[in-house]
Amino acid sequence: MSLHRGADSTRGSGSTSDGEPRSRMLNPFFGEADPVSGMTSAPPTHRLPDGPMPPMTAYRIVHDELMLDGNARLNLATFVTTWMEPQAGVLMGECRDKNMIDKDEYPRTAELERRCVAMLADLWNAPDPAASVGCSTTGSSEAAMLAGMALKRRWSARNADRYPGAARPNLVMGINVQVCWDKFCNFWEVEPRLVPMEGDRFHLDPQAAADLCDENTIGVVAVLGSTFDGSYEPVQEICAALDALQERTGLDVPVHVDGASGAMVAPFLDEDLIWDFRLPRVSSINTSGHKYGLVYPGVGWALWRSQHELPEELVFRVNYLGGDMPTFALNFSRPGAQVVAQYYTFLRLGWEGYRAVQQASRDVACKLSDRFASIDEFRLLTRGDELPVFAVTTAPGVKSFDVFDVSRRLREQGWLVPAYTFPKNREDLSVLRVVCRNGFSADLADLLAEDLDRLLPELRKQPGPLGTDIAKATAFHH
């Protein structure tokens, strides 16, 4: 997230950079009381206005500026849900004033959260769903922090004689992990041990992960659905490599599955894939309710196999309906709307409904990736048959344009398709990534393909790529 800075004093005071009064001619109809009241002076943008204004005037000023944002439905960079049913929006509006942390005051909202945790524990094949523990979060980033904290605390308890001291904990993961894991290691003073990409392997290699583990390893993070290309990491093979490591060395390294996207796709479309609590080494799982959980931004989930995996000293307890309710979160006050929307969506769709929605997204992704593959200038890296996400690069020998040119030209048509370079060891590879979500229909995919067909003749005529700032051509960490 960008760090926003204040403006200079002249702009903040309602003046232009040369000191002249800043004016913005507002539509006279915005003046509710008097449409000819001379509303020619715009309010300052970086300090409080001197006085109030009519609510519709304030609304229109903000609304009109926001029109310059991109269209969320056409944003194929983000994994975040951009469409929900109107009924969900009504429910969210009814609950936006409820503080999720006030479980005594809003016991039914707390109960819906508890039910969602139970449903996810059952979906992810917890040995005893009733004994699983979990919580809602503001997203997978917070959930990852909580899971990492639990891993570190369990490791420190096992190594109380060496920590704190010379021993420095480490976390093993692929270089393709979402940026929240880099943040966790930075904030909680954990050494990140990253397995680089190699050749056509764009995510974590099981044996390479095991080779990086030692007595200071708090865990291994396996990603079910890489943000770089949409591919699943081989969780079962990673666990098997760690099983072999334990047999050789006695080291017992737990696995956390970052299922930000895939944990809400694989249970419905890839039932034979073993990645969840069926693997005894998997101690915790997170997901984003606001991604393929099909809820507007602001909700994630973190679950642990049992109370044993979540150290008791990390859990705070509040009185709930005369009983004891555990809470574990970094954030405190937040609205209950997204949790209520998650429960609504679980009720609304059920297992078969989720399967149908996710299958539709995968079908769109596979069909659209096939369209890209049919064009000689492109080469697919993935085709959307795991996450409904695919990555494509230019074919060898294409000299007139690159993926950054394609991204720029599609943006002219309203499509937001990210172009970026891969990380260490594959920094030579630049790709386009297309995320297909609920709401990105087959019709919209056809329109994107038609726009691509129209712009390609012009791209082919270019003498060469227009160039981009490679330092800024990084992955979209959505």
109-146 confidence digits (pLDDT tens): 989 999 999 999 999 999 998 878 999 999 999 999 99
CB 464 within 8 A of CB 405: no
pLDDT given for residue 331 in this prediction:
81
pLDDT given for residue 49 in this prediction:
87
Phi, psi of 462, deg, nearest 5: -65, 145
pLDDT given for residue 1 in this prediction:
45
Radius of gyration over alpha carbons of the chain, in Å? 25
pLDDT given for residue 3 in this prediction:
62
Alpha carbons 445 and 364: distance in angstroms, whole number = 7
pLDDT given for residue 239 in this prediction:
98
Phi, psi of 435, deg, nearest 5: -100, 120
Alpha carbons 129 and 127: distance in angstroms, whole number = 6
Q: Which residues of the chain fall short of a pLDDT of 50?
A: 1, 9-11, 475, 477
Alpha carbons 170 and 184: distance in angstroms, whole number = 11
Phi, psi of 310, deg, nearest 5: -115, 100
pLDDT given for residue 333 in this prediction:
83
pLDDT given for residue 131 in this prediction:
78
For the entire predicted model, the pTM comes to 0.90
